[in-house]
A and B are shown apart, each in its own frame.
Chain A
Amino acid sequence: QVQLVESGGGVVQPGRSLRLSCAASGFTFSNYGMHWVRQAPGKGLEWVAIIWYDGSNKYYADSVKGRFTISRDNSKNTLYLQMNSLRAEDTAAYYCARGTAERATALDVWGQGTTVTVSS
């Protein structure tokens, strides 16, 4: 079945870096755009970034632009989120989601999430 599994979360000090991974299975990963979405504790959902199916285009929320980098390895069916210069406000559960339909605008399948805590 179609599945996304995130990993790489943890506790990190402010200013440090962390890389999240999202392993995809059950579908042709290289045919889909992929998103990262986060949710701070007790808060709503926040869209973070998208990468096109072939990695040719990447777009970010203003809150993470210049600090986070989305990437993918289609040979490994894996999506990544490199997070640098982490701040307390980046503390959240991070979900990867598959983008389908026109312009990958339909986020249909979601992973279970991985939790990032930024704290000294």
Chain B
Amino acid sequence: QTVVTQEPSLTVSPGGTVTLTCASSTGAVTSGYYPNWFQQKPGQTPRALIYSTSNKHSWTPARFSGSLLGGKAALTLSGVQPEDEAEYYCLLYYGGAQNWLFGGGTKLTVL
């Protein structure tokens, strides 16, 4: 059974930089997994941030960026704001099985 793994929790200071990662139990994450990143605040619907590894939606703040890092998908927040405190989920596409899998989420605390 394939598993997508994220850090359970991370803490960052306001104005700082933090990188969240997303790993696949099948091996290195590549662009062919079309990584997506979503932000979800308590009681709210998930909001899309990044698609296809590094592409931003029109509403995605500039401080969010996506990349591949060390065989994982990565989401970097630069100049973190208090309102960035949220749960972040990655989503990977497994084309062979025509399946999508979410990671377990990273709870980001801004402190």
A and B part of one assembly: yes
Residues of A within 8 A of B (CB): 35, 37, 44-47, 50, 57, 59, 61-62, 95, 100-103, 105-113
Query: In which size bucket is the chain B interface?
Result: 20 to 34
Interface assignment of B102: CB less than 8 Å from any CB of chain A: yes
- Kindly list chain A residues whose C-beta atoms are within 8 Å of the C-beta of B101: 47
- A106-B48 in contact (CB<8A): yes
| Residue in contact with B57 in the complex, picked from A46, A102, A108, CB distance below 8 Å | A108
Min CB distance A8 to B, Å, is: 17
Q: Which of the candidate stretches B22-30, B68-76, B89-97 sits at the interface with the other chain?
A: B89-97
- Kindly list chain B residues whose C-beta atoms are within 8 Å of the C-beta of A62: 99
- Kindly list chain A residues whose C-beta atoms are within 8 Å of the C-beta of B98: 50, 57, 59
- Kindly list chain B residues whose C-beta atoms are within 8 Å of the C-beta of A111: 45
- B93-A103 in contact (CB<8A): yes
Interface assignment of B51: CB less than 8 Å from any CB of chain A: yes
A-B contact pairs, 23 of them (CB 8 A): A35-B100, A44-B89, A44-B104, A45-B38, A45-B89, A47-B99, A47-B102, A50-B100, A59-B98, A62-B99, A95-B46, A101-B52, A101-B55, A102-B52, A103-B95, A106-B48, A106-B51, A106-B52, A107-B36, A108-B57, A110-B45, A110-B48, A111-B45
